[in-house]
Amino acid sequence: QVQLQQSGPGLVKPSQTLSLTCAISGDSVSSNSAVWNWLRQSPARGLEWLGRTYFRSQWYKDYAVSVKSRVTIIPDTSKNQLSLQLTSVTPNDTAVYFCARMTSALMVYAVWGQGTTVTVSS
C-alpha cells in the first residue's frame, strides 16, 4: 500500500526557509493518477491546504493564495519524493505540516504522512 514518510527540521528561524520532504513508497511521484499535496494544521487556522503537484504528461502545480508568493512544491523523480519549501517564515507559520495523496478518481486525502511539527522561533 502507499505510504508517505516525512522528514525535515522541527525548528526554523524567522525569515528563513522551511524545507520538508515526503518520501513515497508504493506509488510513483510521477503517477498519472496521483495528486500530491501539502497541508498544515494549527490551532489558529485549522487544516489548511498549501499546494499540490501532479504529473499528466507534464508537471502541474497549484498553490494556496495565502502562501502563493512564498511556497514551492518540488517533485523529485530520482528519489520518488516531493518537497515543500516555504520562504520568509514567521511565527504564524508554526504548525504541523502534512503531505497527503489524492487520486484523480477520488479527490480526497486517502493517504497521509505522519506529520512534522515545525516551530518558527529564534
Partner 1 sequence: EIAMTQSPATLSVSPGERATLSCRASQSVTTNLAWYQQKPGQAPRLLIYGTSTRATGIPARFSGSGSGTEFTLTISSLQSEDFAVYYCHQYNNWPYTFGQGTKLEIK
Which 8-state DSSP code applies to residue 44?
T
Assess 64 for contact with partner 1 (CB under 8 A).
yes
In whole angstroms, what is the distance from residue 39 CA to residue 108 CA? 13
Q: How many residues bind partner 1 (CB under 8 A)?
A: 16
Name the residue nearer to partner 1 (CB basis): 48 or 76: 48
Q: Give least dist CB 28 to partner 1, A.
A: 21
For β-strands 46-55 and 59-63, DSSP reports them as antiparallel
- Asked if 75 and 30 touch (Cβ cutoff 8 Å), the reply is yes
Residues in region 94-113 near partner 1 by CB under 8 A: 98, 100, 106-110, 112-113
Name the residue nearer to partner 1 (CB basis): 107 or 122: 107
Residues 11, 47, 79, 91: which binds partner 1 (CB under 8 A)?
47
Range list of H helices, 4-122:
none
In whole angstroms, what is the distance from residue 49 CA to residue 39 CA? 4
Residues 15, 90, 114, 119: which binds partner 1 (CB under 8 A)?
114
